[in-house]
Amino acid sequence: MLCVTEYELTIERFHDMPLDPISVGGIVRTALLSAGLVGKSSGQLSLGLSNALCMYGKTGMAVSTIDVGTLGVGKGIGVGVLLAQPVLAATLASSLSAGGIIGLSAVQLVSGISTGYSMALAAALINTAHPSVGVGTGKLQIMPNTVVAISIFNTAFKAAGLVGPSSIPLATAIAKGLDMALPSAIGFVAIAGSPNIIPSAGIGSGKLL
């Protein structure tokens, strides 16, 4: 697992980072290598994990916000979905175990994936729309879609060349483990739009970029 200094340096390097496979790939590869996952299969795993998170984050996760501020219509911009690494590690470990994926490699997988994904999401960009609040703050909520996640992860793993008998169970377990942790994620967006002095609250919606 990455030490604090390496973690902070990596976050600084990828600050305000869009969820694209190249940017996410660098973070995920570093995390997997630090967890002791090396070799050709590690490169394929990194590619599959990176593509899966980017595709799922941008098209499969339902992003909403709880808004407070002043009456109006605004747009929200934020940086960072804070998904605690220990929480994600716990849900991944549970999901991998339930899928029959156990042993030393499972421990390394949990460490590498949870660290890489937490770091990548912490730098992700957020874009939202707010029909009831013109100026204020939106508290982020992410609602997972496990059926979509499983499909995306299996497709990404196959495209990365991970096609052995354990590929589908592994992709499915990782997707389920991520989804179990996502409701605990937090984040905020700054809402800017039409100014007003009348207080208002509401619900916003959007996506990760």
Measured from the Cβ of residue 114, the count of other Cβ atoms closer than 10 Å reads 27
Separation between Cα atoms, residue 194 and residue 192, nearest integer Å: 7
Please answer whether residues 59 and 121 qualify as being in contact, where contact means their C-beta atoms are separated by less than 8 angstroms.
no
Measured from the Cβ of residue 100, the count of other Cβ atoms closer than 10 Å reads 11
Domain boundary assignment for the chain: 4-208
- What does the CA dihedral 102, 82, 17, 146 come to, rounded to 10 degrees? 50
pLDDT of residue 104: 78
Q: Where do the H-state alpha helices sit in 62-103?
A: 85-98
pLDDT of residue 182: 97
Three-class SS state of 130: strand
Which candidate, 84, 97, 92, 96, places its Cα nearest to that of 113?
A: 92
pLDDT of residue 15: 52
pLDDT of residue 16: 60
Name residues of the chain where pLDDT drops below 70: 1-16
Separation between Cα atoms, residue 62 and residue 176, nearest integer Å: 16
pLDDT tens column, 30-87: 999 999 998 778 999 999 999 999 999 999 998 999 999 999 999 999 999 999 999 9
pLDDT of residue 12: 41
